[in-house]
Structure 1
Amino acid sequence: MSDTKGSHTKVSQSSRENASESSLEDDVLVKEAMGGNERSYKKLVNKYQRALHFHIRKMVKDHEQIEDLVQETFVKAFDNLSRYNTDYAFSTWLYRIATNHTIDYLRKKKLQTLSIDEPVKTKSGEMEMQLPDESARTDRDIIRKQRRHMVREAIKGLPEKYRRVIQLRHMEEKSYQEISEVLDKPLGTVKAHIFRAREMLYKELKDKRDRF
Protein backbone atom coordinates (compact mmCIF):
# COMPACT_ATOMS: atom_id res chain seq x y z
CA MET A 1 0.00 0.00 0.00
CA SER A 2 2.84 2.34 0.90
CA ASP A 3 4.46 1.67 -2.49
CA THR A 4 1.27 2.82 -4.22
CA LYS A 5 1.22 6.06 -2.25
CA GLY A 6 4.86 6.62 -3.01
CA SER A 7 4.20 6.07 -6.71
CA HIS A 8 1.34 8.61 -6.69
CA THR A 9 3.56 11.12 -4.89
CA LYS A 10 6.31 10.73 -7.50
CA VAL A 11 3.83 11.15 -10.36
CA SER A 12 2.35 14.24 -8.71
CA GLN A 13 5.78 15.78 -8.14
CA SER A 14 6.78 14.97 -11.71
CA SER A 15 3.64 16.64 -13.08
CA ARG A 16 4.29 19.78 -11.04
CA GLU A 17 7.91 19.87 -12.17
CA ASN A 18 6.90 19.47 -15.82
CA ALA A 19 4.31 22.24 -15.48
CA SER A 20 6.88 24.49 -13.84
CA GLU A 21 9.45 23.78 -16.56
CA SER A 22 6.86 24.49 -19.24
CA SER A 23 5.92 27.78 -17.59
CA LEU A 24 9.55 28.84 -17.30
CA GLU A 25 10.08 27.97 -20.96
CA ASP A 26 7.06 30.13 -21.86
CA ASP A 27 8.46 33.08 -19.90
CA VAL A 28 11.70 32.89 -21.87
CA LEU A 29 9.89 32.55 -25.21
CA VAL A 30 7.55 35.47 -24.42
CA LYS A 31 10.47 37.76 -23.54
CA GLU A 32 12.27 36.77 -26.73
CA ALA A 33 9.08 37.27 -28.77
CA MET A 34 8.62 40.74 -27.29
CA GLY A 35 12.13 41.47 -28.49
CA GLY A 36 11.09 40.55 -32.04
CA ASN A 37 12.42 37.00 -32.15
CA GLU A 38 10.24 35.29 -34.78
CA ARG A 39 11.55 31.84 -33.89
CA SER A 40 10.11 32.26 -30.38
CA TYR A 41 6.74 33.25 -31.89
CA LYS A 42 6.75 30.05 -33.93
CA LYS A 43 7.71 27.94 -30.92
CA LEU A 44 4.77 29.31 -28.93
CA VAL A 45 2.41 28.69 -31.86
CA ASN A 46 3.68 25.12 -32.32
CA LYS A 47 3.39 24.47 -28.60
CA TYR A 48 -0.19 25.67 -28.13
CA GLN A 49 -2.05 25.58 -31.46
CA ARG A 50 -3.26 21.98 -31.03
CA ALA A 51 -4.41 22.62 -27.45
CA LEU A 52 -6.21 25.81 -28.53
CA HIS A 53 -7.88 23.89 -31.35
CA PHE A 54 -9.39 21.41 -28.87
CA HIS A 55 -10.27 24.24 -26.47
CA ILE A 56 -12.22 26.18 -29.12
CA ARG A 57 -13.78 23.01 -30.52
CA LYS A 58 -15.80 22.76 -27.31
CA MET A 59 -17.67 25.90 -28.47
CA VAL A 60 -17.45 25.77 -32.29
CA LYS A 61 -17.88 22.72 -34.55
CA ASP A 62 -16.83 24.07 -37.96
CA HIS A 63 -13.24 22.82 -38.44
CA GLU A 64 -12.07 25.65 -40.68
CA GLN A 65 -13.70 28.28 -38.49
CA ILE A 66 -11.81 26.78 -35.54
CA GLU A 67 -8.55 27.19 -37.47
CA ASP A 68 -9.42 30.83 -38.14
CA LEU A 69 -10.21 31.44 -34.47
CA VAL A 70 -6.95 29.79 -33.38
CA GLN A 71 -4.97 32.01 -35.76
CA GLU A 72 -6.83 35.12 -34.66
CA THR A 73 -6.20 34.22 -31.00
CA PHE A 74 -2.45 34.11 -31.60
CA VAL A 75 -2.58 37.40 -33.52
CA LYS A 76 -4.35 39.09 -30.60
CA ALA A 77 -2.04 37.53 -28.04
CA PHE A 78 1.17 38.47 -29.84
CA ASP A 79 -0.05 42.00 -30.42
CA ASN A 80 -0.78 42.39 -26.70
CA LEU A 81 2.24 40.63 -25.20
CA SER A 82 3.20 43.84 -23.39
CA ARG A 83 0.01 43.45 -21.32
CA TYR A 84 0.79 39.89 -20.27
CA ASN A 85 1.35 39.59 -16.52
CA THR A 86 4.13 37.06 -15.92
CA ASP A 87 2.74 36.35 -12.44
CA TYR A 88 0.25 34.10 -14.23
CA ALA A 89 0.80 31.17 -16.61
CA PHE A 90 1.04 32.18 -20.27
CA SER A 91 -1.22 29.26 -21.21
CA THR A 92 -3.98 30.54 -18.90
CA TRP A 93 -3.76 34.01 -20.44
CA LEU A 94 -3.81 32.54 -23.95
CA TYR A 95 -6.86 30.35 -23.23
CA ARG A 96 -8.70 33.38 -21.82
CA ILE A 97 -8.07 35.32 -25.04
CA ALA A 98 -9.26 32.32 -27.08
CA THR A 99 -12.42 31.97 -25.00
CA ASN A 100 -13.32 35.68 -25.17
CA HIS A 101 -12.60 35.87 -28.91
CA THR A 102 -14.70 32.78 -29.62
CA ILE A 103 -17.59 34.11 -27.52
CA ASP A 104 -17.44 37.39 -29.48
CA TYR A 105 -17.53 35.43 -32.74
CA LEU A 106 -20.56 33.41 -31.59
CA ARG A 107 -22.40 36.56 -30.49
CA LYS A 108 -21.81 38.25 -33.84
CA LYS A 109 -22.90 35.12 -35.69
CA LYS A 110 -26.11 34.96 -33.65
CA LEU A 111 -26.88 38.62 -34.35
CA GLN A 112 -26.29 38.13 -38.08
CA THR A 113 -28.72 35.21 -38.26
CA LEU A 114 -31.48 36.90 -36.25
CA SER A 115 -34.33 37.90 -38.56
CA ILE A 116 -36.37 40.95 -37.60
CA ASP A 117 -39.20 39.75 -39.82
CA GLU A 118 -39.66 36.44 -38.04
CA PRO A 119 -42.56 36.44 -35.53
CA VAL A 120 -41.72 35.90 -31.89
CA LYS A 121 -43.63 33.08 -30.23
CA THR A 122 -45.12 33.87 -26.83
CA LYS A 123 -47.66 32.21 -24.52
CA SER A 124 -50.33 34.47 -26.02
CA GLY A 125 -49.47 33.54 -29.58
CA GLU A 126 -47.19 35.20 -32.09
CA MET A 127 -46.24 38.84 -32.41
CA GLU A 128 -44.13 40.76 -34.86
CA MET A 129 -40.82 42.14 -33.64
CA GLN A 130 -40.90 45.91 -33.27
CA LEU A 131 -38.59 47.62 -35.73
CA PRO A 132 -36.00 49.92 -34.18
CA ASP A 133 -35.95 53.67 -34.80
CA GLU A 134 -35.16 54.21 -38.49
CA SER A 135 -32.63 56.98 -37.82
CA ALA A 136 -30.73 54.69 -35.45
CA ARG A 137 -30.72 51.95 -38.09
CA THR A 138 -29.42 54.44 -40.67
CA ASP A 139 -26.60 55.48 -38.36
CA ARG A 140 -25.63 51.87 -37.78
CA ASP A 141 -25.71 51.18 -41.53
CA ILE A 142 -23.42 54.15 -42.16
CA ILE A 143 -20.99 53.00 -39.46
CA ARG A 144 -21.04 49.46 -40.86
CA LYS A 145 -20.26 50.77 -44.36
CA GLN A 146 -17.44 52.94 -43.01
CA ARG A 147 -15.94 49.95 -41.22
CA ARG A 148 -16.17 47.78 -44.34
CA HIS A 149 -14.51 50.53 -46.38
CA MET A 150 -11.76 50.86 -43.77
CA VAL A 151 -11.10 47.10 -43.86
CA ARG A 152 -11.08 47.02 -47.68
CA GLU A 153 -8.57 49.88 -47.79
CA ALA A 154 -6.36 48.09 -45.25
CA ILE A 155 -6.49 44.91 -47.35
CA LYS A 156 -5.51 46.88 -50.45
CA GLY A 157 -2.40 48.04 -48.60
CA LEU A 158 -1.18 44.50 -47.98
CA PRO A 159 1.63 42.99 -50.07
CA GLU A 160 0.23 41.02 -52.99
CA LYS A 161 0.84 37.52 -51.58
CA TYR A 162 -0.99 38.42 -48.36
CA ARG A 163 -3.73 40.45 -50.01
CA ARG A 164 -4.67 37.59 -52.32
CA VAL A 165 -5.08 34.95 -49.60
CA ILE A 166 -7.20 37.28 -47.46
CA GLN A 167 -9.44 38.11 -50.41
CA LEU A 168 -9.90 34.44 -51.23
CA ARG A 169 -10.57 33.49 -47.60
CA HIS A 170 -12.78 36.32 -46.38
CA MET A 171 -14.31 37.86 -49.50
CA GLU A 172 -14.75 34.76 -51.64
CA GLU A 173 -15.12 32.48 -48.58
CA LYS A 174 -12.93 29.74 -50.00
CA SER A 175 -11.59 26.93 -47.82
CA TYR A 176 -7.88 26.63 -47.04
CA GLN A 177 -7.65 23.67 -49.42
CA GLU A 178 -9.38 25.61 -52.23
CA ILE A 179 -7.00 28.54 -51.73
CA SER A 180 -4.06 26.14 -51.88
CA GLU A 181 -5.33 24.80 -55.21
CA VAL A 182 -6.13 28.24 -56.69
CA LEU A 183 -2.71 29.64 -55.84
CA ASP A 184 -0.88 26.34 -56.40
CA LYS A 185 0.83 26.68 -53.04
CA PRO A 186 1.30 24.18 -50.19
CA LEU A 187 -1.45 24.21 -47.57
CA GLY A 188 1.06 25.13 -44.86
CA THR A 189 2.21 28.16 -46.86
CA VAL A 190 -1.39 29.31 -47.34
CA LYS A 191 -2.08 29.09 -43.61
CA ALA A 192 1.15 30.94 -42.79
CA HIS A 193 0.30 33.73 -45.26
CA ILE A 194 -3.22 34.09 -43.88
CA PHE A 195 -1.81 34.26 -40.35
CA ARG A 196 0.69 36.96 -41.35
CA ALA A 197 -1.95 38.90 -43.28
CA ARG A 198 -4.30 38.91 -40.28
CA GLU A 199 -1.47 40.05 -38.05
CA MET A 200 -0.73 42.98 -40.38
CA LEU A 201 -4.42 43.91 -40.66
CA TYR A 202 -4.93 43.76 -36.90
CA LYS A 203 -2.04 46.17 -36.34
CA GLU A 204 -3.24 48.48 -39.11
CA LEU A 205 -6.83 48.62 -37.86
CA LYS A 206 -6.23 48.47 -34.11
CA ASP A 207 -6.15 52.25 -33.62
CA LYS A 208 -8.73 53.07 -36.30
CA ARG A 209 -11.54 50.73 -35.20
CA ASP A 210 -12.28 52.77 -32.06
CA ARG A 211 -13.36 55.71 -34.22
CA PHE A 212 -16.60 53.92 -35.19
Structure 2
Amino acid sequence: MPDQSTEKSENYSPRENASESSLEDDSLVKKAKGGDEQAYSQLVEKYERALFYHILKMVNDREQVEDLVQETFVKAFDNLDTYSTNYAFSTWLYRIATNHTIDYLRKKKLNTLSIDSPVKTKEGEMEMQLPDESASTDRKIIQKQRQKIVQQAIQDLPEKYRKVIELRHMEEKSYKEISEVLDSPLGTVKAHIFRARELLYKELKDKKGRF
Protein backbone atom coordinates (compact mmCIF):
# COMPACT_ATOMS: atom_id res chain seq x y z
CA MET A 1 0.00 0.00 0.00
CA PRO A 2 1.54 3.38 -1.03
CA ASP A 3 2.38 5.94 1.59
CA GLN A 4 -0.52 8.40 1.25
CA SER A 5 1.39 11.23 2.93
CA THR A 6 4.25 10.84 0.44
CA GLU A 7 1.86 10.63 -2.48
CA LYS A 8 0.09 13.80 -1.35
CA SER A 9 3.39 15.62 -0.96
CA GLU A 10 4.53 14.64 -4.46
CA ASN A 11 1.25 15.75 -6.04
CA TYR A 12 0.93 18.93 -4.01
CA SER A 13 0.79 22.19 -5.96
CA PRO A 14 1.49 25.60 -4.42
CA ARG A 15 -1.83 26.70 -5.97
CA GLU A 16 -3.81 23.78 -4.53
CA ASN A 17 -5.57 26.05 -2.06
CA ALA A 18 -5.83 29.02 -4.40
CA SER A 19 -8.62 31.47 -3.69
CA GLU A 20 -11.59 31.95 -5.98
CA SER A 21 -10.19 35.36 -6.98
CA SER A 22 -6.84 33.83 -7.90
CA LEU A 23 -8.45 31.09 -9.98
CA GLU A 24 -10.48 33.78 -11.74
CA ASP A 25 -7.19 35.49 -12.61
CA ASP A 26 -5.89 32.25 -14.12
CA SER A 27 -8.93 32.09 -16.36
CA LEU A 28 -8.53 35.73 -17.43
CA VAL A 29 -4.82 35.28 -18.13
CA LYS A 30 -5.56 32.27 -20.31
CA LYS A 31 -8.09 34.31 -22.29
CA ALA A 32 -5.69 37.26 -22.52
CA LYS A 33 -2.98 34.98 -23.94
CA GLY A 34 -5.50 34.07 -26.62
CA GLY A 35 -5.95 37.74 -27.53
CA ASP A 36 -9.14 38.45 -25.58
CA GLU A 37 -9.01 42.25 -25.03
CA GLN A 38 -11.90 42.10 -22.58
CA ALA A 39 -9.79 39.85 -20.35
CA TYR A 40 -6.99 42.42 -20.45
CA SER A 41 -9.43 45.14 -19.42
CA GLN A 42 -10.79 43.07 -16.55
CA LEU A 43 -7.30 42.43 -15.15
CA VAL A 44 -6.46 46.13 -15.39
CA GLU A 45 -9.70 47.12 -13.70
CA LYS A 46 -9.16 44.58 -10.94
CA TYR A 47 -5.58 45.56 -10.03
CA GLU A 48 -5.14 49.15 -11.20
CA ARG A 49 -6.15 50.78 -7.92
CA ALA A 50 -4.20 48.34 -5.73
CA LEU A 51 -1.04 48.80 -7.82
CA PHE A 52 -1.44 52.57 -7.63
CA TYR A 53 -1.28 52.57 -3.84
CA HIS A 54 1.48 49.96 -3.85
CA ILE A 55 3.70 52.16 -6.04
CA LEU A 56 2.64 55.35 -4.23
CA LYS A 57 4.47 54.04 -1.17
CA MET A 58 7.70 54.27 -3.17
CA VAL A 59 7.04 57.31 -5.39
CA ASN A 60 5.44 60.41 -3.89
CA ASP A 61 4.06 61.77 -7.15
CA ARG A 62 0.54 60.65 -7.97
CA GLU A 63 0.69 61.46 -11.66
CA GLN A 64 4.03 59.68 -12.08
CA VAL A 65 2.53 56.73 -10.22
CA GLU A 66 -0.27 56.57 -12.81
CA ASP A 67 2.39 56.31 -15.52
CA LEU A 68 4.24 53.59 -13.63
CA VAL A 69 1.02 51.60 -13.16
CA GLN A 70 0.31 51.74 -16.90
CA GLU A 71 3.88 50.77 -17.72
CA THR A 72 3.63 47.84 -15.30
CA PHE A 73 0.58 46.49 -17.12
CA VAL A 74 2.28 46.95 -20.49
CA LYS A 75 5.29 44.93 -19.31
CA ALA A 76 3.09 42.28 -17.71
CA PHE A 77 0.86 41.79 -20.74
CA ASP A 78 3.82 41.68 -23.09
CA ASN A 79 5.39 38.94 -20.98
CA LEU A 80 2.34 36.82 -20.16
CA ASP A 81 4.00 33.79 -21.70
CA THR A 82 6.56 33.85 -18.88
CA TYR A 83 3.88 33.75 -16.18
CA SER A 84 3.64 30.42 -14.38
CA THR A 85 0.32 29.41 -12.84
CA ASN A 86 2.28 27.77 -10.02
CA TYR A 87 2.09 31.21 -8.44
CA ALA A 88 -0.68 33.75 -8.06
CA PHE A 89 -0.97 36.26 -10.89
CA SER A 90 -1.23 39.07 -8.34
CA THR A 91 2.13 38.09 -6.81
CA TRP A 92 3.75 38.08 -10.25
CA LEU A 93 2.17 41.43 -11.14
CA TYR A 94 3.28 43.09 -7.90
CA ARG A 95 6.84 41.86 -8.46
CA ILE A 96 6.88 43.48 -11.90
CA ALA A 97 5.50 46.71 -10.43
CA THR A 98 8.11 46.77 -7.68
CA ASN A 99 11.03 46.05 -10.00
CA HIS A 100 9.85 48.59 -12.57
CA THR A 101 9.48 51.27 -9.91
CA ILE A 102 12.94 50.54 -8.50
CA ASP A 103 14.37 50.86 -12.03
CA TYR A 104 12.59 54.20 -12.42
CA LEU A 105 13.99 55.49 -9.12
CA ARG A 106 17.51 54.38 -10.06
CA LYS A 107 17.36 56.16 -13.41
CA LYS A 108 16.01 59.28 -11.74
CA LYS A 109 19.02 59.62 -9.45
CA LEU A 110 21.84 61.88 -10.51
CA ASN A 111 25.00 60.07 -11.58
CA THR A 112 27.30 60.44 -8.61
CA LEU A 113 30.42 58.80 -7.28
CA SER A 114 30.14 58.04 -3.57
CA ILE A 115 33.21 58.12 -1.35
CA ASP A 116 32.65 55.06 0.83
CA SER A 117 35.01 56.11 3.60
CA PRO A 118 33.66 59.22 5.37
CA VAL A 119 36.02 62.13 5.86
CA LYS A 120 36.77 62.92 9.49
CA THR A 121 36.57 66.58 10.48
CA LYS A 122 36.40 68.47 13.76
CA GLU A 123 32.63 68.60 13.36
CA GLY A 124 32.46 64.83 12.92
CA GLU A 125 32.35 62.48 9.95
CA MET A 126 31.25 63.76 6.58
CA GLU A 127 30.31 61.64 3.59
CA MET A 128 31.13 63.09 0.20
CA GLN A 129 29.52 62.75 -3.21
CA LEU A 130 31.14 63.98 -6.39
CA PRO A 131 29.51 64.34 -9.82
CA ASP A 132 30.46 61.60 -12.25
CA GLU A 133 32.34 63.37 -15.03
CA SER A 134 33.54 60.19 -16.69
CA ALA A 135 30.90 60.29 -19.43
CA SER A 136 32.72 59.63 -22.68
CA THR A 137 32.03 60.75 -26.22
CA ASP A 138 30.84 57.21 -26.95
CA ARG A 139 28.16 57.50 -24.30
CA LYS A 140 26.91 60.75 -25.83
CA ILE A 141 26.77 59.16 -29.26
CA ILE A 142 24.80 56.19 -27.89
CA GLN A 143 22.43 58.60 -26.15
CA LYS A 144 21.77 60.43 -29.43
CA GLN A 145 21.18 57.14 -31.26
CA ARG A 146 18.75 56.06 -28.55
CA GLN A 147 16.81 59.32 -28.80
CA LYS A 148 16.66 59.00 -32.56
CA ILE A 149 15.29 55.45 -32.37
CA VAL A 150 12.64 56.43 -29.80
CA GLN A 151 11.59 59.53 -31.75
CA GLN A 152 11.22 57.51 -34.93
CA ALA A 153 9.13 54.90 -33.09
CA ILE A 154 6.86 57.68 -31.81
CA GLN A 155 6.52 59.14 -35.31
CA ASP A 156 5.49 55.72 -36.62
CA LEU A 157 2.58 55.46 -34.17
CA PRO A 158 -0.99 55.96 -35.43
CA GLU A 159 -1.83 59.66 -35.13
CA LYS A 160 -4.19 59.39 -32.14
CA TYR A 161 -1.52 57.57 -30.14
CA ARG A 162 1.35 59.75 -31.34
CA LYS A 163 -0.44 62.92 -30.21
CA VAL A 164 -1.02 61.76 -26.63
CA ILE A 165 2.55 60.50 -26.26
CA GLU A 166 4.00 63.77 -27.56
CA LEU A 167 1.81 65.81 -25.23
CA ARG A 168 2.57 63.60 -22.24
CA HIS A 169 6.28 62.95 -22.62
CA MET A 170 7.58 65.76 -24.82
CA GLU A 171 5.44 68.65 -23.63
CA GLU A 172 5.04 67.10 -20.14
CA LYS A 173 1.35 67.91 -19.89
CA SER A 174 -0.86 66.34 -17.26
CA TYR A 175 -3.62 63.90 -18.16
CA LYS A 176 -6.20 66.62 -17.51
CA GLU A 177 -4.36 69.10 -19.75
CA ILE A 178 -4.14 66.53 -22.56
CA SER A 179 -7.85 65.87 -22.18
CA GLU A 180 -8.54 69.59 -22.59
CA VAL A 181 -6.14 70.06 -25.53
CA LEU A 182 -7.62 67.13 -27.46
CA ASP A 183 -11.17 67.71 -26.22
CA SER A 184 -11.35 64.04 -25.27
CA PRO A 185 -12.67 62.33 -22.11
CA LEU A 186 -10.00 61.69 -19.48
CA GLY A 187 -10.63 57.94 -19.68
CA THR A 188 -10.02 57.96 -23.42
CA VAL A 189 -6.75 59.86 -22.98
CA LYS A 190 -5.51 57.33 -20.43
CA ALA A 191 -6.55 54.42 -22.64
CA HIS A 192 -4.74 55.91 -25.66
CA ILE A 193 -1.57 56.55 -23.64
CA PHE A 194 -1.70 52.97 -22.37
CA ARG A 195 -2.08 51.60 -25.89
CA ALA A 196 0.63 53.91 -27.26
CA ARG A 197 3.10 52.74 -24.63
CA GLU A 198 2.24 49.14 -25.37
CA LEU A 199 2.97 49.67 -29.08
CA LEU A 200 6.22 51.51 -28.31
CA TYR A 201 7.36 48.81 -25.90
CA LYS A 202 6.85 46.11 -28.50
CA GLU A 203 8.58 48.16 -31.19
CA LEU A 204 11.58 49.12 -29.06
CA LYS A 205 12.01 45.70 -27.45
CA ASP A 206 13.25 44.32 -30.78
CA LYS A 207 15.86 47.10 -30.92
CA LYS A 208 17.04 46.68 -27.35
CA GLY A 209 20.51 45.64 -28.48
CA ARG A 210 20.99 49.05 -30.05
CA PHE A 211 20.44 50.79 -26.71
Could you state the TM-score of these two structures normalised by the residue count of structure 2?
Answer: 0.83
Residues 205 and 130 of structure 1: is their aligned pair in 2 closer, same or farther, counting only changes over 3 Å?
A: closer
Displacement of 1:126 after TM fit? 9.1
Aligned to 2:51: 52
Which secondary structure state, in structure 2, belongs to the residue aligned with residue 123 of structure 1?
strand
Instruction: Please list the CA deviations of residues 65-92 of structure 1 after superposition, one character each: whole Å capped at 9, or x if unmatched.
Output: 0000000000000000000011000000
For residues 23 and 128 of structure 1, the distance between their equivalents in structure 2, rounded to whole angstroms, comes to 47
Which secondary structure state, in structure 2, belongs to the residue aligned with residue 60 of structure 1?
coil
Aligned to 1:176: 175
Aligned to 1:123: 120
8 A contact 2:33–2:80 mirrored in 1: yes
For residues 65 and 196 of structure 1, the distance between their equivalents in structure 2, rounded to whole angstroms, comes to 17
Matches of residues 21-40 of structure 1 in structure 2 within 5 Å? 21-40=20-39
Equivalenced residues, count: 188
Query: Which structure has greater helix proportion?
Result: 1
Unpaired runs of 5+ residues, structure 2, are 1-16
8 A contact 1:45–1:74 mirrored in 2: yes
For the aligned residue pairs, the C-alpha RMSD in angstroms reads: 2.2
Aligned to 1:14: none
Aligned to 2:206: 207
For residues 131 and 106 of structure 2, the distance between their equivalents in structure 1, rounded to whole angstroms, comes to 21
Displacement of 1:140 after TM fit? 1.0
Could you state the TM-score of these two structures normalised by the residue count of structure 1?
Answer: 0.83
For residues 150 and 96 of structure 1, the distance between their equivalents in structure 2, rounded to whole angstroms, comes to 29
Residues 62 and 126 of structure 1: is their aligned pair in 2 closer, same or farther, counting only changes over 3 Å?
A: closer
Aligned to 1:62: 61
Unpaired runs of 5+ residues, structure 1, are 1-17
Amino acid at match of 2:155: K
Displacement of 1:137 after TM fit? 1.7
Instruction: Please list the CA deviations of residues 23-58 of structure 1 after superposition, one character each: whole Å capped at 9, or x if unmatched.
Output: 110000000000000000000000000000010011
8 A contact 1:147–1:209 mirrored in 2: no
Aligned to 2:4: none
8 A contact 2:168–2:174 mirrored in 1: yes
8 A contact 1:33–1:41 mirrored in 2: yes
